[in-house]
Amino acid sequence: MKQPLTLHPDRLFPAEPQTRAVARKLYEQVKDLPIISPHGHVPPVWIADDIPFKNATDLLLTPDHYVNRILHGQGVDLADLGVPVGRTDFTEEQAREAWRIFSSHYELFRGTPMKYWMEMELVDIFGIDQRPSAENADEIYDTINAKLATDAFKPRALLDQFNISFLATTDDPLDDLEHHATLAADDSVATTIVPTFRPDKYLEAGRDGWNDLIDALGEKSGENTDTFAGWVAAMENRRQFFKSMGAVSSDHAHMDLGTQPLPADEAEAVYARARRGEASAQETDALRRTFMFEMARMASEDGLVMTLHPAVARNHHQATFDRFGADVGGDIPVAFETVESLRPMLNAFGTNPNFRVILFGQDETVYSREVGPLAGFYPSVYVGPPWWFIDAPDAIMRWRSSVTEYGTFYKTTGFVDDTRAFMSIPARHDLARRIDSAYLANLVVQHRLEIDEAEDLATQFVVDLPKKAFNLEV
Amino acid sequence: MKQPLTLHPDRLFPAEPQTRAVARKLYEQVKDLPIISPHGHVPPVWIADDIPFKNATDLLLTPDHYVNRILHGQGVDLADLGVPVGRTDFTEEQAREAWRIFSSHYELFRGTPMKYWMEMELVDIFGIDQRPSAENADEIYDTINAKLATDAFKPRALLDQFNISFLATTDDPLDDLEHHATLAADDSVATTIVPTFRPDKYLEAGRDGWNDLIDALGEKSGENTDTFAGWVAAMENRRQFFKSMGAVSSDHAHMDLGTQPLPADEAEAVYARARRGEASAQETDALRRTFMFEMARMASEDGLVMTLHPAVARNHHQATFDRFGADVGGDIPVAFETVESLRPMLNAFGTNPNFRVILFGQDETVYSREVGPLAGFYPSVYVGPPWWFIDAPDAIMRWRSSVTEYGTFYKTTGFVDDTRAFMSIPARHDLARRIDSAYLANLVVQHRLEIDEAEDLATQFVVDLPKKAFNLEV
Amino acid sequence: MKQPLTLHPDRLFPAEPQTRAVARKLYEQVKDLPIISPHGHVPPVWIADDIPFKNATDLLLTPDHYVNRILHGQGVDLADLGVPVGRTDFTEEQAREAWRIFSSHYELFRGTPMKYWMEMELVDIFGIDQRPSAENADEIYDTINAKLATDAFKPRALLDQFNISFLATTDDPLDDLEHHATLAADDSVATTIVPTFRPDKYLEAGRDGWNDLIDALGEKSGENTDTFAGWVAAMENRRQFFKSMGAVSSDHAHMDLGTQPLPADEAEAVYARARRGEASAQETDALRRTFMFEMARMASEDGLVMTLHPAVARNHHQATFDRFGADVGGDIPVAFETVESLRPMLNAFGTNPNFRVILFGQDETVYSREVGPLAGFYPSVYVGPPWWFIDAPDAIMRWRSSVTEYGTFYKTTGFVDDTRAFMSIPARHDLARRIDSAYLANLVVQHRLEIDEAEDLATQFVVDLPKKAFNLEV
């Protein structure tokens, strides 16, 4: 039953031999280039404090809802995988048992990017040479844990090994960014690590706890957040702080992309009602869209790039949310619209050379219908990479195919891993580099691109475009 | 002008030689396995009474609205093809003429699965070796008819020849299922033939005739259907009867997937108004969604698998409906939504191990956006196969490509032919097996799957997954 | 830095050698057939007066918003490219500088059909053998201009060289069509050149200037347009005039496809309110849908084919519109719906043999969900080709793949270039012929079509289907 585990050098490349040869050539050119990760969710404390990883389950299973959800979808109890993250009652024996559960269901990952990431991690990082199975679960678990106990597997050592030149984290506007300060002050950290401004919950006046957040925002910023104008000033203040700490972008996820601002006096009135807890759902939505317009206005002034990724029904299954909290796999995308929603923002700032917005999305229908045309016309609009569930070989191919013909090669951002799964970062970037090489190779063999053009693009995708899209100086 | 008609052994396989070789290998492994058909529309009386087929037109043209619609779309009068099914005034000469019409328009079927099915039927079942044309219409018609007159071409003989191990029909909740009783009692029938509970019209209080149906439901079940509670009890009663006759699933097709239940007292009040013919369209929609929630609740208790395939505008052309009735090609899919619609049902029963729901659909956009993520998370949710118009090579490839990366190989159901066209069942399953082999072969040659993994999956698709998804014990 | 510019004979063909060989064979068969262009925007005056083209910028850059938008999307000021068309203050030196801007940004066109068109124009028409670059901008500009100054590059000579047998223009209902008269009377023009009836703005009672247009319509037609009935009579009058001048179709683009007519008395009342400027937005929408129903009724009588291409948010960026006017790249597609919108029209005229409607669209989701099924059933409904932004290799492949399995090869229209860019017409048709050959070749090598079937279809696409769909007698 023991199956070897190897990484084929031609994996993800097209089968047709001429095309494969071109893909291989393009990939060779970019495979060892440093990783730029301008949008992700690795906790900065891991690196600042160089906290060792605990065990294979704690590292690779418990926090990874991509992996968890597949097992849950076949009836595995998330609690048996250690969910939620940070549980103190999850014993070492339970962690080992979780790895056994994962290993004995390994066939469920066939056809998924999770399999690609996991296998690259197992082989390249941990030197595993067998496919996970019920039989070898303990053996692999022990091998991984033994390595994790060594210095070479602490976050900072891995950061070097992974050749990550730039890493952005995601942070609360009220965060003091102490870990970023630590890292910036430490010359031994070669990677540039910067925060990202993620203000979503401060814009959602219809949610529980908003008023307390706004009180705290006022306190932290020294602005009076009893008025809409005060909210704006407080946000400007916090953005400036983030900018001073190296932030290059802000990150925004709401149910729609609306940016229609209320007239100034109405904004103040609705804000006041919201602070008193008296605003209707319609009013808090209108207020959120007004806040978004203000965010765009600030971005056009301070130059933080906006990343927008709307329209996910979070925590779809209430009982799972009640038991485990957020981010455990119950988030389901829904359809969304960009053209009318973004019109107010783009009419105000769309041709402003200091403004930039990157559109992600899980609703693939908007790519060819809306995002390609918008990015083709507006200098400020960039096509975000296939995000979240669709960060996968076929989906990336569909995405490239949907937007490229609008002339958007140079309006894409390079790959964004968007992950908290630190170990998977090299694998995710490797997957993207391979698929991009395959995509370009297809164009070359169909004589839609010359080879020199493809070679130039392959490097642009990895080096130049992330720098351009996110205003990086690395 | 005589063109040979042959079935190429490599049909539907990718052209690239290595990929084709893998596809061929995978297909060889599954091509002769028995057919499991857990969702279809073959009338059980055909088999119970072993009724001989009349002639080529009556068998292959008149009842097949896939074929009819293509001819109608080029101006052929459906009446000239014998529509509607069961007309007594359609003469033998007219039937022959219908076959001539079909044959002389044979080019219209290029690029369609109907051509694939038809050619496999002509060659494999009837031994025809010429492509249909105006010239050979009579010859082929006579050849087919001569065979149909023999015992080897009666339904039961074909059922054996086709190697169908399991066949589900679709039945009205008030049906006495006498043909199923006949078949179950007959040891000479090797195929397991079971009914499917199809209650749609009893849930549509806004349609003409609903009140009479509900009266009949009350009478048949012995429950008082003057109240909502009585309707529920009556449905429970009929589901139990279907279950006792071997049913494994219920089948549901409405304009949306709504499952939001009304509060109990409101349900009773609206139901009472509907029974008096006084409910508004909004109320009858709300009532239908309440009924659907109840169906799900019953399913979570009695274990009948729910198949949901919403959002088709039936009988789009009123004049055609007036002239020929339903199911004559004028059904057009529309967009639909799953995430909010199914939320009440999935919050109530989504993680119940006794509950299972299979989502079909013609709106391909929901696959990657909604159905993949839902099936990935909820143990109860299965990805239905490409349904109806999209039961076709390119569409099946798109479907696999859209949902596989979510980790749903094991949340698919195996192929479902969903057909009344008895003769086409082997061809439809053959097409699915070939395309699945091709899909898996692509993954193997791109080193996204090992060959042993693909071999295992190829068999899972045909044997294990239909059994698992539909709770079969065959 | 000098890169050669050549056109590979196998460009756009699949890489797999057998498939490529079939594609090449099919393409050889159709590549030199005359071009039928039944839907486009070349100004008839160019040909009637045989007006020489001014320079490379005036010909290839300034009027082409496909090209402009890519440059604008990277921050180039449209004014620097000579926009808007017809500016008298744009100097020869500025025109040369515009060409330099284009040439030095040539990499932006990678992966686009614009690159395909441009390179075929440069090589085949102008004999350029270097890829455009900052270095050779002046050299190429001068080469093109020198050729444009010769008789061989005047519109009529090119029309012959391009082998265009039929060309439709797009014209205002009040146009006197004098240029068409000139062309029809001139035996030296081998191409049949006809007008197309484009009445959009006369249907939009909610837009500024509508009343004046309707006054002019009354005057031109001799009908009293103070009533709805008069509007109808006036339109009938103008359609007859267009028909007498050779028109074969009418062209319609609104935000939705609605065709629900108001009852006659209500139509008159709303029309009267609209004429007084008192109709609400809802009323003018309802009136527009009533007008559309009337257009369909007229079409069912006079036989002009309707082309419908809805749902584009025109002039998305107000400041650009204010500065440069319409058609400068700020048009963004939005989602649309066909099934309910077209139901009134199709119920009234859908099976009328004299009625024909061609559906275009930028929302690709409607192809497999709605358009394929509608065209499959209704004799009058045709699947329009990939329109506008999606007139591109990958998008055409997606389109064929989305609709073919419904049995719509014979419900497609042949290629439609829909362009004002006269020089690009041969390249656009060449691209379509190559991709269609590639699509058919894929079916052949997968044994889904025999080679003789593919050969027949390849010619049908170029010769028979445009004639059939547009009722041509060429």
**Which run of H or of E encompasses B93?**
helix B92-104
**Which run of H or of E encompasses A114?**
helix A113-120
Q: In one letter, which amino acid is A234?
A: A
CA dist A42 → A31, A195, A403 (Å):
22, 10, 29
Residue listed under structure tokens 């010619």: C459
Report if residue C8 sits inside a domain: no
User: How confident is the prediction for chain A on average, in pLDDT?
Assistant: 97
**Three-class secondary structure of residue C260 per DSSP:** coil
Residues C108, A407: C-beta atoms closer than 8 Å: yes
Which residue of B16, B343, B375 is in closest CB contact with A15?
A: B16
Rounded to whole angstroms, the Cα distance separating B346 from B336 reads 17
Please tell me if residue A457 touches chain C, with a CB cutoff of 8 Å: yes
Query: Same domain, yes or no, for C65 and C196?
Result: no
Q: How many CB atoms lie within 10 A of CB A6?
A: 12
The confidence score (pLDDT) of residue B473 equals 80
The confidence score (pLDDT) of residue A252 equals 98
Residues of chain B short of pLDDT 50, as ranges, are none
Burial (CB < 10 A; 0-12, 13-18, 19+), residue C350, is: buried
C-beta of residue C174 within 8 angstroms of C-beta of residue C215:
no
Residues C405, B109: C-beta atoms closer than 8 Å: no
Rounded to whole angstroms, the Cα distance separating C254 from C311 reads 6
C-beta of residue B69 within 8 angstroms of C-beta of residue B78:
no
Report if residue C362 sits inside a domain: yes
Query: Same domain, yes or no, for A145 and A175?
Result: no
Query: Same domain, yes or no, for A216 and A297?
Result: yes
Give the end of a domain, one of C119, C153, C187: C153
Report if residue A26 sits inside a domain: no
Query: Same domain, yes or no, for C456 and C347?
Result: yes
Query: Same domain, yes or no, for A102 and A181?
Result: no
Shortest Cα distance, chain A CAs vs residue B440, angstroms: 9
pLDDT digits (tens, 9 = 90+) for A202-236: 999 999 999 999 999 999 999 999 999 999 999 99
Shortest Cα distance, chain B CAs vs residue C254, angstroms: 20
Shortest Cα distance, chain C CAs vs residue A353, angstroms: 7
Residue C43: which residues within 8 A CB-CB, separation 6 or more?
C169, C420
C-beta of residue C99 within 8 angstroms of C-beta of residue C133:
no
The size of the B-C interface in CB pairs under 8 A is 135
Rounded to whole angstroms, the Cα distance separating C372 from B375 reads 28
C-beta of residue B197 within 8 angstroms of C-beta of residue B203:
no
Report if residue B443 sits inside a domain: no
The confidence score (pLDDT) of residue B1 equals 62
Residues A405, C116: C-beta atoms closer than 8 Å: no
> What's the number of domains chain C is made of?
2
**Three-class secondary structure of residue A328 per DSSP:** coil
Q: Could you tell me which of A356, A216, A221 has the C-alpha nearest to residue A299?
A: A356
What one-character DSSP code corresponds to residue A109? G
Report if residue A275 sits inside a domain: yes
Q: Are strands A312-313 and A332-333 parallel, antiparallel or unpaired?
A: antiparallel
Query: Same domain, yes or no, for A199 and A260?
Result: yes
* Residues 28-57 (C) with a CB less than 8 A from some CB of B: none
Residues B332, C446: C-beta atoms closer than 8 Å: no
Report if residue B65 sits inside a domain: yes
Query: Same domain, yes or no, for C212 and C79?
Result: no
C-beta of residue C29 within 8 angstroms of C-beta of residue C90:
no
The confidence score (pLDDT) of residue A2 equals 84
Q: How confident is the model at residue A164 (pLDDT cuts 50, 70, 90)?
A: very high
Q: What percent of chain A has pLDDT over 90?
A: 99
pLDDT digits (tens, 9 = 90+) for A258-290: 999 999 999 999 999 999 999 999 999 999 999
Give the end of a domain, one of A130, A153, A176: A153
pLDDT digits (tens, 9 = 90+) for A176-193: 999 999 999 999 999 999
Residue B52: which residues within 8 A CB-CB, separation 6 or more?
B148, B149, B153, B154
Query: Same domain, yes or no, for C247 and C346?
Result: yes
Please tell me if residue C339 touches chain B, with a CB cutoff of 8 Å: yes
Which residue of A11, A115, A131 is in closest CB contact with B446?
A: A11
Which residue of B353, B445, B449 is in closest CB contact with A15?
A: B445
Residues B405, A316: C-beta atoms closer than 8 Å: no
Give the end of a domain, one of A95, A125, A153: A153
Please tell me if residue B379 touches chain A, with a CB cutoff of 8 Å: yes
Please tell me if residue B67 touches chain C, with a CB cutoff of 8 Å: no
Say if residue B84 is preceded by a cis peptide, omega within 30 of 0.
yes
Residues of chain C short of pLDDT 70, as ranges, are 1, 474
Rounded to whole angstroms, the Cα distance separating C363 from A367 reads 10
Report if residue C28 sits inside a domain: no
The confidence score (pLDDT) of residue A473 equals 80
**Which run of H or of E encompasses A165?**
strand A164-168
C-beta of residue C242 within 8 angstroms of C-beta of residue C197:
yes
Query: Same domain, yes or no, for C423 and C298?
Result: yes
Rounded to whole angstroms, the Cα distance separating C393 from C427 reads 12
CA dist B220 → B135, B179, B233, B235, C144 (Å):
54, 18, 12, 10, 85
Q: Residue C194: CA atoms inside 13 Å, Cβ hemisphere, count?
A: 25
Question: Which one of C133, C365, C394 would you mutate to disrupt binding with A, by most A Cβ within 10 Å of its Cβ?
Answer: C394
Query: Same domain, yes or no, for C237 and C145?
Result: no
Query: Is the complex ipTM more than 0.90?
Result: yes
Query: Same domain, yes or no, for A129 and A191?
Result: no
What's the helix, strand, coil split of chain C in %, to 5?
A: 55, 5, 40
Range of the domain at B101: 52-153
Q: By CA distance, what is C311's nearest residue in A?
A: A369
The confidence score (pLDDT) of residue B2 equals 84
Report if residue C10 sits inside a domain: no
The CATH number that applies at residue C373 is 3.20.20.140
The confidence score (pLDDT) of residue C474 equals 59
Q: Are strands B332-333 and B312-313 parallel, antiparallel or unpaired?
A: antiparallel
Q: By CA distance, what is A391's nearest residue in B?
A: B405
The CATH number that applies at residue A102 is 1.10.2020.10
Neighbour subunits, C (≥3 Cβ pairs < 8 A): A, B
Which residue of A15, A114, A332 is in closest CB contact with B373?
A: A332
Please tell me if residue A127 touches chain C, with a CB cutoff of 8 Å: no
Q: Are strands C305-308 and C357-359 parallel, antiparallel or unpaired?
A: parallel
Query: Same domain, yes or no, for A132 and A202?
Result: no
Which residue of A16, A72, A107 is in closest CB contact with B16?
A: A16
